[in-house]
Amino acid sequence: MVDAMQPLPLELQGLAERVVQALQQEAVKFAPSDATPQIALAAVQFTPVIDPGNQLPGYQGVWRNARNDRCGVMTINSDHSVYAEYDLFCPHPRDERWFVEMVTVWGRGGDLRSEPSLIPNV
């Protein structure tokens, strides 16, 4: 693995932007309106990695908050499959039985899926 931060190659920019848009749409649904994060592609720091499935190059991106804590990740594999998550840590806006831990996005190319990750509110 190479540790140097690098910009994402141009051919992956559109895919990464769609992932960020999907994360933001999920965050808007599940975070309080006064605390919805602004998830931005410009804030991700990418590092080249090796895709463990086929040993080809991929990218791992990390979002960090003001305290430099990791608050989100995005992985883009060599086959353009993606997985991303962004932390919310807030009560579910419509069902008090649940707490929203994070929102996630996954898929390949233009076929992206998203959902919140919920844990019981105790």
> Residue with structure tokens 């994360």?
23
Residue with tokens 């990740």: 73
Contact yes or no for 109/102 (Cβ under 8 A) = no
Residues of the domain holding 56: 10-120
State how many domains the chain has: 1
Asked, for residue 37, whether it belongs to a domain, the answer is yes
Classify residue 3: in a domain, yes or no. Answer: no
8 Å CB contact between 91 and 101: no
Rounded CA separation 56/14 (Å): 20
What tens digit of pLDDT does each residue of 16-75 get? 999 999 999 999 999 988 889 999 999 999 999 998 888 999 999 999 999 999 999 999
- 66-89 pLDDT tens trace: 999 999 999 999 999 999 999 999
pTM of the model: 0.90
The DSSP output letter for 37 is: -
